[in-house]
Every structure is written in structure tokens, then in C-alpha cells.
Copies of this chain bind each other. A is one copy, B any other.
């Protein structure tokens, strides 16, 4: 929160708080308080709370879109898939990384607002293309598009579950095997589970 630009400070603070509490749950006073600006700034820079929300979502989508996964030619598809899964598990669950970027976007995707269209175009679609490309290599030729999509959702569903339902996971697994202590174990489980499911396309 140490950016000088006040507009950006509000944007960052808004992202964090919207991610944590949702649109209704977040208050502009808490946001401007964290951004350390006057309350009139939200009207001055963004017109109103809703536009601020939209801009906040677009902002993280824009920032995140820059980080792109890429592999050298000839990398086995299975390795790419493993990387893809590990990358997103780390992104969502690594305690050292700020998870609110992904959280804000996931929130938006479960209750879409006007920000959704741009979010999909700038963030979801590119990621979707990456995963889709990997699956195209991995699945047998002639697998229909819809089947590929369902497979992609099976993968993302596993990954996102640990992010959105963290409390219940911790509760059910207990302290001694808390999976969030070592996200690599978690990612490896998802990788293995998925690769096994894809290993025998017609069982």
C-alpha cells in the first residue's frame, strides 16, 4: 500500500477488501481508510462504489494477465499440465503470496457484475486457452470440444475447491495433516489424480 499515486492506492485497497468481504460487505470508508485518502477520492477518481469495484477487478485482471506460463518447444504435455496445476495451486494457496487477486476474480465469476465481461476477456479466456491447448495434446485425437471443456473444469474444480472451502478442509483434515502447510503435497495430489484420470481415456 506504499504507492504514492492515490488512485492506485484506492484501487489496491479496494481489491483486497472486496475480495475479502464481497461488494456489499465492503464499505467505502474501510477502503479509503486503508488507502489513507479522503473519502471524496472515490467519487473523484471512480464516480461511485460500483465503478470502483469494476475498476478494481479489471486492475487485478490486468496485472495478473502479464504473468504468463510458457514452455520451451517439445515440452511433454503432461509436464505442462503439472506446471499449470502447481502454478495455480501456489497462486491461490501459497501463504507467502497475496491470494486476494484470485479470490476477487473467483468471487466475480460466481456472482458476475458488469466487470465480468472484461475479466473473462482479459484473464479467463487466456488461461482457458492455455489449459485447453494442453488438453488437446493430452487427450486422444478426435475428442470433442465439450469433452475437453468438462475435463478442464474437473481440473479447475479441484484446484479452486481448496481455495474457496479452505475452512472446511482444515476442519475435516485436522491439524496434523493440514494440507495448507505444504501446498506442494496438495498440488502433487491433484496432478497425480488428474494424470491418472487422463491416462486411460476410454475405460
Q: How many copies does the complex hold?
A: 2
User: Using a CB-CB cutoff of 8 Å, which residues 135-167 of chain A contact chain B?
Assistant: 145-147, 149-151, 153-154, 156-162, 164-167
CB distance from A49 to the nearest CB of B (A): 13
Say if the beta carbon of A192 comes within 8 Å of chain B.
yes
Chain B residue at minimum C-beta to C-beta distance from A124 = B168
Q: How far is the CB of A202 from chain B (nearest CB, A)?
A: 9
| The residue from B158, B168, B189, B196 contacting A203, defined by CB atoms under 8 A apart | B196
Find out whether the CB atom of A167 lies under 8 angstroms from the CB atom of B199: no
Q: How large is the interface on A (under 10, 10 to 19, 20 to 34, 35 or more residues)?
A: 35 or more
Q: Mark A99-138, 1 if CB is under 8 A from B, else 0.
A: 0000000100111100010001000100010000000000
Instruction: Give the one of A153, A156, A165, A192 with max B CB within 10 A.
Output: A153
**Chain B: which residue is nearest A197 at the CB level?**
B197
Contact A199 B193 (CB under 8 A): no
Known: A150-B189, A179-B150. A172 touches B116 (CB 8 A): no
Q: Can you list 8 contacts pairing A with B, beta carbon distance less than 8 Å?
A: A109-B165, A110-B167, A128-B172, A154-B190, A160-B165, A161-B161, A196-B203, A199-B203
B195 touches A196 (CB 8 A): no
